[in-house]
Amino acid sequence: MSEPRTPVFAANWKMCHGPAETAAFMERFRERHAPRDDATVVVFPPAISLPAFAEARAGRPDLRFGVQDVHAEVEGAYTGAISAAMVPATGATWGLAGHSERRREFGDTDAMVARKLRRLLDAGLRPVLCVGETLEEREAGRLEAVLETQIRAALSALHAEGRARLVYAYEPVWAIGTGRTASPADAAEAHGIVRARLSGFEGCDPPRSVILYGGSVKPANIGQLLAAPGVDGVLVGGASLDPDSWAAICGAGA
Ligand code: PGA
């Protein structure tokens, strides 16, 4: 059983909100969300909007931000890609790796995700490793095996100090963007599996590891999800795009 901790509210904007929309969002969100020291708020805008986010959050260091993906290499002939080493200069301090859309749409494999985590760590960013099963895998009774494979592949490629800095996001693929949320009991079960899988890896501290839930989180279900055992925060897509809805989520448990 994990000890109580301050929740993390993370927003994954995916390919939504360019620089102008980011500025407009932030103007409204800053009014609706006062800084709170009992929670962490972090937004993952599209890379092209990182400078706009940095500018729009001036004077609000409580509003952290990060990058949705980086390339597995540091530099080179990779047209269109972004290097983790380029990210800190924008002021961003976090990075996602292994989101199911990256795995599905862009072919990110477990081995690539592991290398991306290393790049994020080398750049001094805080990585969030996203894991989760498809509906087919869940129905075949493979939840535990899938999570185990994804976690093992990532952690085996990292040093103990790197592992110690990882945050996790459990996102069942069948709940992402579908309106179908995992029940608090489902989330608690999966978070328990993730936590159990961390033990045995030097550098990991399972009871203190931060594990976020993602998949159709909204203002209406944030309270019950956050109350589920072992859920330390949320990673929110669709409901984070509207500043009022995102402010409602970030106000949960205050
Ligand atoms: P959703 O996306 O909240 O729109 O389901 C979550 C995610 O993909 O991180």
- pLDDT tens-digit series, residues 98-142: 999 999 999 999 999 999 999 999 999 999 999 999 999 999 999
The ligand 1 atom at the shortest distance from the C-alpha of residue 235 is 9
CB-ligand 1 contact for 176 (6 Å cutoff)? yes
User: Quick check: is 99 catalytic?
Assistant: yes
Eight-state DSSP code of residue 132 = -
Q: Which amino acid is residue 180, in one-letter code?
A: R
- pLDDT tens-digit series, residues 48-62: 999 999 999 999 999
Domains and CATH numbers, the chain: 17-250 (3.20.20.70)
Quote the pLDDT of residue 44: 98
* Helices of type H across the chain: 19-32, 50-56, 100-106, 110-122, 135-139, 143-156, 160-163, 184-198, 222-226, 243-250
- pLDDT tens-digit series, residues 75-91: 999 999 999 999 999 99
End-to-end CA distance of the chain: 22
Alpha carbon separation from 64 to 76, 119, 164, 183 (Å, rounded) = 28, 19, 20, 28
Confidence of residue 3 (pLDDT cuts 50, 70, 90): very low
pTM of the model: 0.96
How many other CB atoms are found less than 10 A from the CB of residue 130?
Answer: 27
Confidence of residue 4 (pLDDT cuts 50, 70, 90): low
CB-ligand 1 contact for 171 (6 Å cutoff)? yes
Q: Which residue among 99, 101, 133, 191 is the active-site one? A: 99
